[in-house]
Structure 1
Amino acid sequence: MSAQQFQIADIRVEGLQRIAPGTVFNYLPVQVGDTVGDDVTGNIIRALYQTGFFDDVRVEREGNVLVLTVQERPSIAKIEFVGNQDIDEATLRKAMDEIGLKEGRVFNRSVLDRIEQELERQYYSRGKYGVLVVSTVSPQERNRVAIRIDVTEGLTARIKQINLIGNKAFATPQLLKQFELGATTWHSFYSKNDQYSKQKLAGDLERLRSFYLDRGYIKFDIKSTQVSISPDKKEIYVTVVLDEGSPYTISDIKLAGEAAVPVTKVFPLIQLRRGEPFSRKLTTESSERISSLLGDEGYAFANVNAVPEVNDTAKQVTVTFFVDPGKRVYVRRVNMKGNTRTRDEVLRREMRQLESAWFSAALVKESRERLNRLGYFDDVTTETPAVAGSADQVDVNVTVREKPAGNLMAGIGYSQSQGVLLNASINQNNFLGTGKRVSLAFNTSQASTLYSLSYQNPYYTADGISRGFELSYRATDFSQLTDTSYATYTTDTGIAGMNFGLPISKTSRAGFALRYQYTNIQYNPLTAFFYAPQVYAFVEQNGQTFNDFIMSASYTDDTRDKAVFATKGYLHSLHGELAIPGSSLTYYRVGYEGTRYIPLTKRFVLSLSTELGYGAGYGDLTALPFFFNYYAGGPRSVRGYQANTLGPRELSINYNPTGGNTKIVGSIELLVSPPVGGDLEKTLRFGLFLDGGNVWVTQDNPLIYPTGFNLDEMRFSAGLSASWLSPIGALSLSLGFPLNEKPGDETQVFQFGVGQTF
């Protein structure tokens, strides 16, 4: 271009393919009418290059027309990944989108270089130091390019050895137990502990630091950390240089600031002791307990800081807890969210943290647990935000996620003890969002037919006394029970009852019920004499029709964190029933059921369960009626044995199981939720179990063998289990392997229950 300046009469852009001229004009630092010289043309070229749209820009003059000749950069037509296995393609594409490399965008070679470097860094973090990333850019028609990224991942480098230098007080094996990383072992294929990661090493070093600080080594320091890789890039060596320092003991414990609660309540919360080694963990836990105490007293924003004063000469530490309770806080409002069907009052009556009362962290936690135990919600969360413009008020926001209503149900299923099951029911634990339980059901199988109606109001009174009613009729043909070849007889049972429940404490309730029960036994005397002598003898002695009035009482203590798939807490239940004098059959039964959940890790839970039962007759009845007997074996009992087959048997042609008046069943199960994410992780559980139990007839009976109580008759099994709350119904599976089966036992390794609703 001529050095002579000129005034622009027009601007023409040549070489454009995809980019509109208007886009170019928007980036130009000049416009028609401006005067252009050599000093301005440099600015024009720089401005257009900075857009990232062009590979080449030329500025020329034709008369008073400014001519811009450009060469557009190609657009990306396709991006293809080859060879990536450790990092999935979706993750790679997301990372590239964030950097700016995406199909349809303008291709920029420098961005592709950054992608290659980032890919290598990602693979390095996974221990793949032999990774090779090669990009190929292929021209396409219409000024486009296709990008192919070939990844040769190579083998993962394994940690060969971790060396600790400078440790004298503690042996290296003891310290290495604090590390997640380590040399290859038999479980490395699962734990991946031998795959080096910078983040994992940082976590291990922090755990190592905590180990020393919790044992009084307050001056502990990590001098250096060196990670080296073998020439073949297959083995990694980690060397950590330590300076342990000397152990420090606690010389004094002080309390400063304003405690806001009696000091006699604060000091017992401090676990530190004079003369013992200083522990950062115990110091932190003590501060948290003091904060929790203040939180329960209404000081929601209390601040407790533990400050150690170090005496290097004496190797001692004075720990001072500075307490700043802040203002006492009360709750302005309790807000409910997410309950589209459930009425607010159903949630509010479970709340122990009340509006206009002092805030209590313990009461908020208890309220959340009570809502979880209702079983109406998949998830319950609580938040306590401060009220804007107020220093002494908070709101309690309760957010629930309701379970599907599903109150009208028809179903088909299969049970290994009763064959094909058909059911139709209106069964709602939260009827119309009122919290009342209503059930109207019809169930039938080849062995039994059931009609039932029940109603339960958990808050019959405002203080939590419950009341319920039940009506049911069941006809059972025991000859059709597929797992047990019972003799040919049937029973018709009708029940009408009423029950009450009374809250005893925050987690416990007492119950009382009264019911009328009608029982009629139909049988063929000749057939029963040979196939069911117990039934024959009972009917000959007591008759076929019975009218009984039964009182029952129960006590339940439930501290589980959730009603379904609990992870901690326990459920204890004591119960007893008595057929009152004047009934056709005078008997009593007492029992206990208990389950405790012990969290081991975030995913692993240990479940311990026990079921005990005992019954007997009184007055003119010498033994518990056979149709009130306990049974064992099968799902929810001793898995690996067929349902209801354990225990004594009749001395008859069929050698039928009779059940017993005494029952002991227990189980130890290690439960784990799989790391699959989403709702499936909350509705699926696997287990490793050990079951044991049996039933006994403790009274002498010449028609049954064996009789008497003998713990040597206990049966045990072990195996695997799975439970899934699927969208089409509950599904449970187990593989149970008997450990001490005896001749005559009926075993069944695979057991399941499945139901389908529509």
Structure 2
Amino acid sequence: MNKSLLSVLIASVFAAPALAFEPFAVKDIRVEGIQRTEAGTVFSYLPVKVGDTLNDEKAAQSIKALFATGFFKDVRIEVDQNVMVVVVQERPAIAKLDFIGMKEFEKDVIVKALKETGIAEGRIFDRALLEKAEQELKRQYLTRGKYGVNITTTVTPLERNRVGINFNVEEGVAARIKQINLVGTKAFNDKELLSQFELTTPGWLTWYTKNDQYSRQKLSADLEKLKSFYMNQGYLEFSVESTQVSISPDKQDVYITINVSEGDRYQVSSVKLAGDFTISEDELRKLVLVKPGDVFSRERLNESTKAIGDRLGKEGYAFANVNAAPEIDKEKRKVAFTIFVDPGKRVYVRRINVSGNTKTRDEVIRREIRQMEGGWYDADRVTVSKQRIDRLGFFTDVIVETPAVPGTADQLDVNLKVTEKPTGNLMLGLGTSSTDKVILSGSIAQNNFLGSGNNVSIQVNSAKSYRTYVFSYTNPYFTPDGVSQGFDVYHRTVNTSSTAIAYYSSASTGGGIRFGFPIGEKQSLGLGLGVDFTEITVYPDSPKYYQDFVSDFGDSNLSVPLSLNWASDGKDSFFFPTKGTFQKAGIEVAVPGGDLTYYRANYQLQHFIPLNTKFTLMLNGELGYADGYGGKGLPFYKNFYAGGVSSVRGYKASSLGPITEDFRIGGNRRVVGNAELLWSIPGMEKSLRMGWFFDAGQVYGKGQNIALGDLRYSTGLSAAWISPIGPLKFSFGLPLNKQDNDKSESFQFQLGTTF
């Protein structure tokens, strides 16, 4: 057998062949040396086919083509009696990637990052890419502030032409920002300016926020915040001239130096409107917040142009262009603005598209939409539609986009994209509360039954002091115009032996039907009628007040409660509002026809005030009043109570109010007020919110004067968590004016809602 060596090394591709041969017609092609690669793959890359004439040039092209695949580290071509023999040596494949000493990252995150560099299990190993992979791994650590990381890579040959790659990582400690220096600042002190920054030196919460670790993106955002701060204070020509970031020799401390030029402070000399208004100039001028004589504020100027654009949007001018052009007088340090208004063409909505609702029916979403297809675009109606859909509580996110229709100048589509969340709950379990200690609970609830928007629930709670069995059904659109209808059937038992309430027990069975009537975009009326049968048991150590009631009215009573409620909900979110007002007023009257006649009235006002992008102030006030009528007194088990996680935190639940024989008996009047500073935890904005609260409240008995001096006060920290098993509230409260007969309870929590 005669074989001629045509090429051995890749260098021969670019040089004259070492051994020339007579060209010949290829009778067959044979591949030798392959283990994982299919022969067909080799054939597909060869520029030579059976029947072609093989010469020196075609042989060199074949070698070059096979090397270019990256599959082989050696390629030879031999000739065996007019048969072209391709002899290859495959590169090894990567069998596994191991990371030793890596704690900062999950393995999956790093594996994904390295895959983009070409290093991944199952791929062909190329040593040239290994250094690139190491650099990528180091880059990942640099994003976490670990500048002293050391990475050693080991390649281990394995059977069947495979290799294992081990990354040995010495993470070191994360470098912290030691100091942030501001150079060139005169108008404000450094403390005030650095409060605008997200980056900071180490503090009590930076272990979680990581804001003491340098990040180029965070620094850029902070510099923009600094610029906005200055420009809102009138410094129109403020600029950041340079920034320097340095690290200490031990790579543990970072120093940031920012050089700024403040410039002069400017006042507004005049504000003019120009352009095609389509709306009266007087109306638009009322929307301008920047007035002559004011110190220039970029924020107020932007709010003015936005307000004008939004006002034009209400008239259908969705693509209105509103810009403010400055005229600067440097000598007088004055600036004049001309706000140019170009409404563009009036736009109408071609189509409203709903997507992402894999479970909820389209009609459930569309009946909340206030913008109509074919009508003029109204920005306010689109915003209200988004809020109404969000308040359904069926979705974790609601996104609205208004793209222009291609090829038109006067049409747009409204695209609503929702993200479904679980609205059903099946739970059997054991829980605890600060009042009842142990709660056995079970529930089957579906707030969006079969995607219809209807609520169906069967709920059971078994606590030492309070047991409830309820079946509820609600159809929020009983009629097409939004009248809701629902009914409830329940059985409740109460035993106050483990609470602060005077000792008694009761068992109530009943039900009712209710209707809701929308009377505005955010307001509704509710009307309900029910029947309740209650059996009461008092004991020798029960207060005389309780025993007298049973003596006068019997130990079993039938009542027919008629309820009327009004609610106005202007909050911007169902779970964690940041702005808006909520009001609720209601009265329940036990009408003649039953054994008891009484009434209970309640009013609540809640207001959310956004202080900035991080903090929200919540103010809440509640009033309650109840009494009997028609010669019958108020049942003692209908009294008001206060204290606990839902009213005045830091005091034991239901422990405030009148006292009889060292027991709380409740009262017919209730006053509660709460002020709470709320903030979200970064990365958990939609599931966890913290708060610092100040609570006040008291319950007053019949004939007792309402005196503010009798109010109880408390302060402390709170947390609200949308947990996998339901809403969970925590509080750690400190009573501020606890009296000798008050019962305090520092740590309190509540799972879900109480029926």
TM-score (normalised: structure 1): 0.83
Distance 1:636 1:91 in 2: 42
* Matched ranges for 1:319-338 at <5 A: 319-337=337-355
Which has the larger displacement, 357-366 or 199-208? 199-208
Partner of 1:646: 656
Q: Equivalents in 2 of 1:232, 1:310: separation in Å? A: 49
1:715 paired residue among 712, 716, 733: 712
The CA deviation at 1:236 is 3.1
Alignment of 1:57-72 (within 5 A): 57-59=75-77, 66=84, 68-72=86-90
Equivalent pair of 1:7/1:33 in contact (CA under 8 Å): no
**In the TM superposition, what are the counterparts of 1:406-425 in structure 2 within 5 Å?**
406=424
- The CA distance in 2 between the partners of 1:425 and 1:103, in whole Å, is 47
For residues 469-509 of structure 1, give each alpha carbon's deviation from its aligned partner in whole angstroms, at most 9, with x where no partner exists.
666665x564x543247445x55656676655443432123
Structure-1 residue corresponding to 2:569: 558
Match of 2:289 in 1: 271
- CA drift at 1:572: 1.4
> What is the aligned counterpart of 1:570 among 573, 581, 592?
581
Q: Are residue 80 (structure 1) and residue 98 (structure 2) matched?
A: yes
Superposed CA RMSD: 4.0
Report 1:541-620 matches (<5 A).
541=552, 552-578=563-589, 587-599=598-610, 605-617=616-628, 620=631
Distance 1:313 1:735 in 2: 58
Deviations 1:515-542 (A, max 9, x none): 666666555xxx54x6331123334455
Correspondence 1:483 to 2:499:
yes
CA contact (8 A) 1:337 1:399 kept: yes
Are 1:297 and 2:315 matched, yes or no?
A: yes
SS in 1 for 2:141: helix
Alignment partner for residue 48 of structure 1, among 66, 70, 73? 66
Distance 1:19 1:249, change over 3 A: same
User: For structure 1, which segment, 687-696 or 595-604, has the greater mean C-alpha deviation from structure 2 after superposition?
Assistant: 595-604
CA 1:121–1:419 in structure 2 vs 1: closer, same or farther (change >3 Å)? Answer: closer
Q: Secondary structure of 1:71's partner? A: strand
Identity, in percent, stands at 48
Please state if 1:204 is matched with 2:214.
no
Cα pair distance change 1:271/1:35, threshold 3 Å: same
- Of residues 363-372 and 746-755 in structure 1, the stretch that sits farther from structure 2 once superposed is 746-755
Inter-partner Cα distance in structure 1 for 2:608 and 2:708: 26
1:745 aligns with 2:742: yes
Counterpart residue number, 1:702: none
Query: In structure 1, what is the equivalent of residue 255 of structure 2?
Result: 237
Report the CA distance shift for 1:169/1:331 in structure 2 as closer, same or farther (over 3 A).
Answer: same
Q: CA separation in 2, counterparts of 1:408 and 1:185? A: 42
User: What SS class does the counterpart of residue 531 from structure 1 fall into?
Assistant: coil
SS of the residue 2:498 aligns to: coil
State the Cα distance separating 1:659 from its structure 2 match.
0.8
- Counterparts of residues 192-591 of structure 1 (less than 5 Å): 192-310=210-328, 316-337=334-355, 344-401=362-419, 404=422, 406=424, 435=453, 458-459=476-477, 462-466=480-484, 476=493, 478=495, 481-484=497-500, 486-487=502-503, 491=506, 501-513=516-528, 521=536, 528=540, 531-541=542-552, 552-578=563-589, 587-591=598-602
Alignment match, 1:7:
24
Task: Quickly say closer, same or farther: Cα 1:573–1:318, change in 2 above 3 A.
Answer: same
| Residue of structure 1 equivalent to 2:701 | 697
Deviations 1:654-713 (A, max 9, x none): x43211122122334455554556xxx6445555544432322142xxxxxxx5544444
Task: Please tell me whether the aligned partners of residues 114 and 137 of structure 2 are also in contact (alpha carbons under 8 angstroms).
Answer: no
Distance verdict in 2 for CA 1:550–1:59, change over 3 Å: closer
Change (3 A) 1:168 1:404: closer
8 Å contact from structure 2 (residues 113, 136) kept in 1:
no
Report SS of the residue matched to 1:154: coil
SS of 2:663 mapped into structure 1: coil
Deviation of residue 630 (structure 1)? 0.8
Residue 646 of structure 2 corresponds to residue 636 of structure 1: yes
Q: Does 1:657 align with 2:653?
A: no
Aligned to 2:120: 102
Please state how far the C-alpha of 1:127 moved relative to its aligned partner. Answer: 3.2
Q: Within 2, Cα distance between the matches of 1:188 and 1:494?
A: 53
- Relative distance call for 1:172 and 1:601 in structure 2 (3 A) is closer
- Superposed CA offset, 1:725-748 (max 9, x none): 555555545444544443343444
SS of the equivalent of 1:365 reads helix
Letter in 2 for 1:531: S
The 8 Å contact of residues 23 and 56 in structure 2, kept in 1 or not, is answered as: no
1:97 is displaced (CA, Å) by 0.8
What does residue 704 of structure 1 align with? none
Which amino acid is the alignment partner of residue 670 of structure 2?
K
* Segment drifting more, 355-364 vs 561-570: 561-570
Structure 1 residues 346, 691: CA separation in 2 closer, same or farther (over 3 Å shift)?
same
Deviations 1:234-273 (A, max 9, x none): 3333333334444454444343432232222222222223
Q: 1:17 to 1:405 in 2, by over 3 A?
A: closer
One-letter identity of the residue aligned with 2:127: R
Matched to 1:75, the amino acid is A
CA distance in 1, matches of 2:555, 2:36: 95
Change (3 A) 1:223 1:505: same
Once the two structures are TM-superposed, the CA of residue 574 in structure 1 deviates from its matched residue by: 2.1
Contact 2:26 2:49 in 1 (8 A): no
Is the CA contact (8 Å cut-off) linking 1:698 and 1:709 kept in structure 2? no
- Bigger CA drift: 588-597 or 64-73? 64-73
What is aligned with 1:119? 137
Contact 1:510 1:555 in 2 (8 A): yes
Counterparts in 2 of 1:709 and 1:346: CA distance versus 1, 3 Å? same
* 1:138 alignment partner, one of 151, 156, 160: 156
* Separation of aligned partners in 1, 2:445 and 2:150: 61
Runs (5+) with no aligned partner, structure 2: 1-17
Looking at structure 2, the residues matched to 160 and 98 of structure 1 have their Cα atoms a distance apart, in angstroms, of: 34
Q: How many residues align?
A: 735
Give the distance between the partners of 2:461 and 2:732, measured in 1 at CA. 28
Does residue 666 (structure 1) correspond to residue 690 (structure 2)? The answer is no
Contact 1:600 1:606 survives alignment (8 Å): yes
For 1:556 and 1:334, locate their aligned partners in 2 and report how far apart those are by CA, in whole Å.
Answer: 29
Query: AA paired with 2:498?
Result: T
Q: Measure the CA separation in 2 of the matches of 1:396 and 1:387.
A: 10
Q: Return 686-695 or 197-206, whichever deviates more.
A: 686-695
Cα 1:625–1:254 shift into 2, 3 Å:
same
Instruction: Determine the structure 2 residue equivalent to 1:703.
Output: none
- 1:175–1:208: 8 Å Cα contact kept in structure 2? yes
CA distance in 2, matches of 1:226, 1:667: 47
Q: In the superposition, relative to structure 1, how do residues 346 and 157 fare at CA in structure 2: closer, same or farther (>3 Å)?
A: closer
Q: What code does the residue aligned with 2:711 have?
A: M
User: For residues 172 and 33 of structure 1, do their structure 2 counterparts lie closer, same or farther at Cα, with a shift above 3 Å needed?
Assistant: same
Q: Could you say what secondary structure the match of 1:113 adopts?
A: helix
Q: Is the 8 A contact 1:411 1:755 kept in 2?
A: no
Deviations 1:90-112 (A, max 9, x none): 22211111111112222112111
Amino acid at match of 2:636: F
Residue type at the aligned position of 1:637: S
